[in-house]
Amino acid sequence: MNSIEFYFEDIEPISFQEDFLKNQIENLVINEKYQLGELTIVYCSDEFLLEMNKQYLDHDYYTDIITFDYVEKNVISGDLFISIDRVNENAENYGISQLKELYRVVLHGVLHLVGYKDKTEEEQVEMTKMEEFYLAKIDFKELKV
């Protein structure tokens, strides 16, 4: 079974073009030669994600995303927890729309699931390159939220 589900934890729902984002995720997965399994994306607050970061990763700092990888062979499954507070702050800092930053963070999480890492500087450069590659395929001016 393949599915992409979106949830909101401790925040008000936001508008983000759900079906369009699902298509972008599916295209990335196919392009990277994987199959889609079950993917859950949970939008939450800084505080919620900080507690998860402490509990599951033993990290005591804010982050924009935590990815739990349940990939088996070439079937992508996982849980992405995304702080909307971080997304909004990043968007302001980068001078881009909140929607574009949200999509970047989601794609970043999916790129982790297909094998991209970002621990070293070299890996970070490759991750950023791939984020930009997939973001370039999206016409954000055409998206209405």
Q: Which residues are annotated as a binding site for Zn(2+)?
A: 108, 112, 118
DSSP conformation letters of 54-96: HHHH---S--SEEEEE--BTTEEEEEEEEEHHHHHHHHHHHTS
Q: How far apart are the C-alpha atoms of 114 and 143, rounded to whole Å?
A: 26
Q: How far apart are the C-alpha atoms of 15 and 117, rounded to whole Å?
A: 29
Pairing of strands 65-69, 75-83: antiparallel
Tokens standing for 144? 């209405």
Binding residues: 108, 112, 118
Backbone angles phi, psi at 49, to 5 degrees: -70, -35
CB atoms inside a 10 Å sphere around CB 3: 11
Asked if 52 and 63 count as a contact pair (C-beta separation under 8 A), the reply is no
